[in-house]
């Protein structure tokens, strides 16, 4: 089942702190306002200017990202808990 | 009876969690702030820039969408409960 | 006595829920935040951009519209209770 | 004694509900948030855009207008109580 | 000692209600939110747009103005109490 | 040790009310919201527009300025208490 | 492990007040709202305008900066506590 985020939105799978890979960012203390890590599943086509021109996003499917702890909205798609957020919620790209 | 939403507004029929189709998005727990699923019945002509140029919407009649739980305003048209919302309330398009 | 709304304003006569016509939108329960129905009596010339160009409105005299319950300001003209609102208060056009 | 309102401001004389002329708008119940009627005494040259170009106002001296009850600031000029407001406070022009 | 207000600011000497001249605007009741009268001592060069172009002000040194009661900041220059305000605080020019 | 303020920021040394020079602005009563006097130590290159063009500031190193009492942030550089503020905090230039 | 900040964000290592170098800025009293000192580890590509053009930042990797005490979000990368902030949080560049 496909889900196409609209405009500047992203569909993101959260990467839990424990199952960090070798190049891992270790963020053990999730209590504090630490940023979260995730993988981009799908990205919107980009932001639309008033005259209709679309500016592609700098974040794309497959990117590993850091984002603000309280960013976005949780959604369950095909039984999996994912997050929908905006590109402006993303701090940066890992690796 | 036709209803033409103005500018960037959409007329949407809510798809209740239970009657999900095969490609279904299962959002059993409607208590939490889970996004809602719906079908677009009618879409406005698009956003008008200050100079009058109109930019068509990316969401059209027939699209199945995910939108924020508290988005839009309820309206009853020909006895049916529908919702009027803006395109900016839409997270993305399903399928 | 004529009244010309300024810029993007509209003069609207409210259509009470009971006296709905055949193509009627039935909004029996006015207690909830249901949108209101009305008829446009007069419309402004349009929104003025910073450089003075005027963009005509998409709503015109004679249109039947749906608008937000708390939109606009009540005014009595020639003894009749009417409402002055902005085009941005209008959800869409009926019929 | 002359008073030139600046930019998009208007100097307005309030027309009390009782002394309404034949073409009158009767707004007996001033307790509620009913709009007020008035006559424009003087109007500013217009709004100045960032690049300095001035866009003339659509309201001019002599116009009879409807404006929001709490709009503007009261001022006494040559012993007469008048109001200074912005064009954006004006609902429309009567007659 | 000279003081050059920056950009769209004005240096203003307050004209107290009592010492009004013949062409006077009499604002006896300073308790209410009545506008204040003053004389412009010095005016800034004008507002700077994002691209650096400067748009001269419409208010200049020597103008008698009406401004909002709570506008600006009081300053003492060479022992005299004056006010620094922005052009947007000015209602209009007298005489 | 040099410190280059960024964009539209200024590094300012506060001139205390007592040690005012001959051409002095005497602001004895620092209790009230009186503006403060200071000397600009360093100024940023200017404000950057969305397209990257930089508009130089109108305030430069060496200028004596008046600024709002609560403007800016205190910083200690080489043991001296200074203030970092934005050009928009400056009322005007003295002398 | 690399981390590329997005758009106008910066990855910054905080320089504690004690371990200040010779050209040091001594900010002993961290209790007050004193600005913080740090070193830029990585900088985003720049701010994106509505039409997609990117304006490079004025702060780059290796710069020593002063920034507001409460700016940015703490993150742990490869076991080191760092901060992600925006260029607009930076007061200026040292040295």
| pLDDT by position in tens, chain C (length 95) | 789 999 999 999 999 765 444 455 554 444 445 789 999 999 999 999 888 899 999 999 999 999 998 899 999 888 899 999 999 999 999 98
Across the range D44-73, mean pLDDT stands at 94
Tell the CATH superfamily of the B9-16+34-94 domain.
Answer: GroES chaperonin (2.30.33.40)
> How far is it, in rounded angstroms, from Cα B24 to Cα E36?
67
Give Cα B44 to chain centroid, integer Å.
11
Q: Looking at the predicted complex, does its ipTM rise above 0.90?
A: no
Which residue's entry shows tokens 């043991």? Answer: F79
Q: Is G88 helix (H, G, I), strand (E, B) or coil?
A: helix
What does the pLDDT read at residue B23?
55
Phi, psi angle pair for F45, to nearest 5°: -75, -20
Q: Could you tell me the two tokens for B43?
A: 């879409």
Across the range E33-62, mean pLDDT stands at 92
What class does CATH assign to G9-17+32-94? mainly beta
Across the range A6-24, mean pLDDT stands at 77
> How far is it, in rounded angstroms, from Cα A75 to Cα A27?
23
For the segment G26-52, what is each residue's pLDDT rounded down to a tens digit? Answer: 544 444 457 899 999 999 999 998 888
Chosen from G73, G84, G87 to mutate, greatest number of chain A CBs within 10 A: G73
- Give the pLDDT band of residue A23 (cuts 50, 70, 90): low
Q: Which H/E stretch holds residue A91?
A: strand A90-94
How is the beta sheet containing A90-94 ordered, strand by strand?
A73-77, A80-86, A9-14, A36-43, A64-67, A90-94, G3-5
> How far is it, in rounded angstroms, from Cα E28 to Cα E21?
14
- Fold classification of D9-19+32-94 is 10 Kd Chaperonin, Protein Cpn10; Chain O (2.30.33)
A78, A95 contact by CB (below 8 A) = no
For F9-17+33-94, CATH gives 2.30.33.40
Across the range A45-66, mean pLDDT stands at 94
Here the contacts of F14-21 (C-beta below 8 Å, separation 24 or greater) are: F14/F38, F14/F81, F14/F82, F14/F83, F15/F39, F15/F64
- Give the pLDDT band of residue D31 (cuts 50, 70, 90): very low
**A62 contacts: CB under 8 Å, gap ≥ 6:** A39, A40
Across the range F12-33, mean pLDDT stands at 60
Q: Characterize the bridge pairing of strands A9-14 and A36-43.
A: antiparallel
User: Which chain G residues have any C-beta within 8 angstroms of a chain A C-beta?
Assistant: 1-7, 9, 11, 42, 44-45, 48, 50-52, 73-79, 84
> How far is it, in rounded angstroms, from Cα A72 to Cα A13?
12
What does the pLDDT read at residue G17?
64
SS3 sequence of chain C: CCEEECCCEEEEEECCCCCCCCCCCCCCCCCCCCCEEEEEEEECCCEECCCCCEECCCCCCCCEEEECCCCCEEEEECCEEEEEEEHHHEEEEEC
What class does CATH assign to E9-94? mainly beta
Contacts of A76 in chain B (CB under 8 A): 25-28, 34
What does the pLDDT read at residue A37?
94
Contacting subunits of A (3+ beta carbon pairs below 8 A): B, G
Instruction: Report the mean per-residue pLDDT for chain E.
Output: 86
> How far is it, in rounded angstroms, from Cα E34 to Cα E14?
14
Phi, psi angle pair for A45, to nearest 5°: -75, -20
Chosen from C75, C85, C86, C89 to mutate, greatest number of chain D CBs within 10 A: C75
For the segment G81-91, what is each residue's pLDDT rounded down to a tens digit? Answer: 999 999 999 99
CB contact under 8 A, C26 and B1: no
What class does CATH assign to C9-18+34-94? mainly beta
Which tops the pLDDT comparison, B26 or A82? Answer: A82
* DSSP string covering A39-58: EEEEE-S-EEPTTS-EE--S
For the segment D69-93, what is each residue's pLDDT rounded down to a tens digit? Answer: 889 999 988 889 999 999 999 999 9
Per-residue pLDDT of chain B (95 residues; tens, 9 = 90+): 799 999 999 999 999 865 444 455 554 444 445 789 999 999 999 998 888 899 999 999 999 999 998 899 999 888 899 999 999 999 999 98
Find the farthest-apart pair of alpha carbons in chain C and give their distance in angstroms, rounded. Answer: 45
Query: Could you tell me which residues are beta bridge partners of residue C80?
Result: C77
Residue G9 is nearest to which of A32, A55, A91, comparing CB atoms? Answer: A91
Q: Which of C78, C83, C77, C95 is nearest to C36 (CA)?
A: C83
For the segment F45-91, what is each residue's pLDDT rounded down to a tens digit? Answer: 999 988 889 999 999 999 999 999 889 999 988 889 999 999 999 99
Q: Cα torsion for B14, B20, B25, B27, to the nearest 10°?
A: 70
Q: Hey, CA dihedral for C13, C19, C23, C24, is it positive or negative?
A: positive
């Amino acid at each position: 089942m496909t889900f196409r985020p609209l405009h500047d939105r992203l569909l993101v799978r959260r990467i839990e702190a424990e199952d960090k890979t070798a190049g891992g960012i270790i963020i053990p203390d999730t209590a504090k306002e630490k940023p979260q890590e995730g993988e981009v599943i799908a990205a919107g086509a980009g932001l639309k200017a008033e005259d209709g021109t679309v500016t592609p996003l700098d974040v794309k499917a497959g990117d590993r990202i850091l984002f603000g702890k309280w960013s976005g909205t949780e959604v369950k798609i095909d039984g999996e808990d994912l997050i929908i957020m905006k590109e402006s919620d993303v701090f940066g790209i890992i690796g």
